[in-house]
Amino acid sequence: MAIRPPGPSRLHHAAAAAAGVLLLPALAACGSSDAATGSASPSPPESASVPAARLTVLAAASLTDVFQQAGAAYEKGHPGTKVTFSFAGSQELAAQVKQGAPADALVTADTKTMDGLKGETNDPTVIAKNRLVIATAPGNPHKIDSLKDLADSKIKVVLAAPEVPAGRYSKEVLDKQGLKVTPVSQEPNVRAALSKVELGEADAALVYKTDAAASKGKVDAVEIPDDQNAIASYPAATLKATKNTAAADAFVKWLSTPEAQRILRQAGFQQP
């Protein structure tokens, strides 16, 4: 019997089937490549992993201006999160923490105060440093040039109280120079000491460089040489009692990011 060759339609179907078999490995390979590289599902931005929360941050008075800027920047990059700050002297903030004040994070102007709260805080990270200057009335009418001038009984000097970080730093630099300065008042925080000069109630005050910069036009600043000065460190930590652990931890970590550090540098704070 003669064998008839396949007709055109049978040839067409056979070719299509063969092509389909050849395409299957290629399609499988494409699917495998996408899965391996993860290109099909890009990872979400970091802010998406931070839960929305209303955070309360206790912060040293000298951070008042810069943290208001930093808080606004953080909220913009983390929609749904609201950061409220409570500013005061570091010793006042420590007392609030010990009394169980509802808060999520703490930033002090010295490591000593933070170290005294080890039972209430998680591990701290230093986010910035600062230094002292002599704040005077605009134009420096009493011609105050150095720390020695503060010992003149004719100069009305205001200092932060000894229990305040700025007060301890002030005592440190004055003792280092062997100077006895009798202040007309000792204030509960460095901003209160600065305001005395702004209001004309004092001729000079030892304050942080950033405080004097924030009051430019209201006070002048006399620099203190490095070998006579003291460096203030600002540690930040989450509180163990917080109910917003993840959100509070994210904020504290953000304070060390390039964005936050740029804001701190612009305000005059030094690198940690």
Q: Which residue, chain included where needed, has tokens 């740029």? A: 262
Specify if 35 maps to a domain. Answer: no
Same domain for 195 and 242, yes or no, is: no
The rounded percent of the chain whose pLDDT value lies above 70 is: 82
The answer as to whether 199 is a domain residue is yes
Using alpha carbons, select from 221, 231, 154, 233 the residue that is nearest to residue 194: 221
Residue 212 domain-assigned (yes or no):
yes
- What is the model's pLDDT at position 48? 56
Residue 40 belongs to some domain of the structure: no
Do residue 119 and residue 135 come from a single domain? no
pLDDT of residue 9: 43
> Do residue 134 and residue 225 come from a single domain?
yes
Are 175 and 121 found together in one domain? Answer: no
**Parent domain of 134:** 130-231
Write down the pLDDT at residue 34: 40
Cβ atoms within 10 Å, residue 112: 15
CA distances for 133 relative to 146, 172, 210, angstroms: 10, 13, 9
Shared domain for 157 and 226, answered yes or no, is yes
Are 116 and 135 part of one and the same domain?
no
Say which amino acid occupies 11: L
Number of domains in the chain: 2
One domain, residues 70 and 186: no
This prediction's pTM: 0.80
Do 165 and 256 fall within a single domain? no
- Model confidence band, residue 51 (pLDDT cutoffs 50, 70, 90): confident
- 58 and 121 housed in the same domain: yes
Given a contact cutoff of 8 angstroms between Cβ atoms, the answer to whether 124 and 252 are in contact is no
- Mean per-residue pLDDT for 14-35? 40
Asked if residues 88 and 99 have their Cβ atoms less than 8 Å apart, the reply is: no
Q: Are residues 137 and 210 in the same domain?
A: yes
Beta strands (DSSP E) in 119-226 are 125-136, 157-160, 185-187, 204-208, 220-223
Residues 150 and 184 in one domain: yes
Mean pLDDT, the chain, integer: 87
In a domain, 31, yes or no: no
| DSSP bridge partners of 233 | 129
> What integer is the mean pLDDT of 125-130?
98
